[in-house]
Each structure stands twice: as structure tokens, then as C-alpha cells.
């Protein structure tokens, strides 16, 4: 009799295992998350940073090609409200650095050919100023964005 119970228990165990395994979606979801550069998924602020980085790279290309700057992207105002990663914090000066950056982008976007290089570099310096207190990782990449 004991043997029968053990066999039934084993079969039940196998069936239960099969039930967890099938394409439940859980496994696929986990795989999709690892496509992100950040293992825990990107914060709102990280995603915004990547847009800011794109804008700056485009600005540098435009500068070299003699094109007029793209207008100030209103979405950058989210800098003050976008959620930071859970393992990260904003310093007491975060908002001041943010304002400095926003006004530097506006100056660049409305620059003339005379002050375009200067306003562009001010914008990159505003990234660096905030990054001197937050998230040091991207600093070497940001430094390379400057124009002679």
C-alpha cells in the first residue's frame, strides 16, 4: 500500500512540475527584462537621460554640419519629477543642477552661429555638474561630448 502512495505522490509531483513549466509567460517576461541595460529595469529618469544624451549627440552632429539646433524638447522638464532608480538618490542640489541644465538647453536651442559652440559646451558642462554629484558612471562618455 505504501508503494502505491509513493508512486501516486511521484506522479502528482511530475504533473505539478509540468504545470509550472509550460509557456506560462513568467519565463518570457523575465527574458524580456534582461534585454534592458539595467538588470532591474530602467527608471523613468534613466530613460529620460538617454533621450537627453541623444539630443546632445544630435546637437553635436548638427553643430559640425552647420545646421540650426533642434528646438528645446519640452519633455526635458520631466527632469524634476521623473522617478530615480530605487538604489539611487537625488542630492539636495539636484533641482538647482536641473535648472542649470534646462536653461543651458534653451540657450543652445536659441543660439546664433556666434555663440553656438559656447552654448553647446555649456550644456555638456551642465550634464557634468549634476553628474559630479550623481551617477558617476557616464562621466567619461559625457566628457567626450564636448566640442573644441
Among 88, 110, 115, 132, interactor with ligand HEC by CB under 6 A: 88
Which of 9-17, 23-31, 35-43, 108-116 is the region at the interface with ligand HEC (rule: CB under 6 A)? 35-43
Rule CB under 6 A: say whether 45 interacts with ligand HEC.
yes
User: Binding to ligand HEC by residue 56, rule CB under 6 A?
Assistant: yes
For residues 23, 25, 28, 29, the Cα torsion angle rounded to the nearest 10 degrees is: -170
Q: Which is nearer to ligand HEC, 24 or 57 (CB)?
A: 57
Q: Site for ligand HEC (CB under 6 A): which residue of 63, 69, 97, 122?
A: 97
Binding of residue 109 to ligand HEC (CB under 6 A): no
DSSP per position, 66-126: TPPPPPP-GGGGGGGTSPPPTT----TTHHHHHHHHHHHHHHHHT--TTTHHHHHHHHHHH
- CA dist 127 and 56 (Å) reads 10
Q: Is 85 in the site for ligand HEC (CB under 6 A)?
A: yes
Distance in Å, CB of 72 to ligand HEC, minimum:
13
Cα–Cα distance for residue pair 146/120, rounded to 1 Å: 8
Amino acid at each position: 500500500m505504501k508503494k502505491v502512495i509513493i508512486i501516486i505522490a511521484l506522479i502528482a509531483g511530475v504533473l505539478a512540475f509540468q504545470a509550472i513549466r509550460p509557456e506560462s509567460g513568467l519565463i518570457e517576461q523575465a527574458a524580456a527584462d534582461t534585454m534592458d541595460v539595467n538588470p532591474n529595469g530602467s527608471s523613468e529618469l534613466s530613460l529620460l537621460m538617454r533621450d537627453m544624451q541623444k539630443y546632445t549627440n544630435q546637437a553635436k552632429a548638427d553643430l559640425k554640419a552647420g545646421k540650426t539646433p533642434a528646438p528645446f524638447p519640452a519633455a526635458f522638464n520631466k527632469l524634476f519629477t521623473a522617478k530615480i532608480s530605487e538604489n539611487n538618490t537625488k542630492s539636495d542640489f539636484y533641482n538647482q543642477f536641473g535648472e542649470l541644465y534646462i536653461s543651458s538647453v534653451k540657450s543652445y536651442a536659441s543660439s546664433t552661429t556666434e555663440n553656438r559652440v559656447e552654448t553647446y559646451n555649456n550644456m555638456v558642462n551642465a550634464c557634468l555638474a549634476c553628474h559630479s554629484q550623481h551617477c558617476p558612471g557616464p562621466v567619461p562618455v559625457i566628457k567626450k561630448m564636448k566640442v573644441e
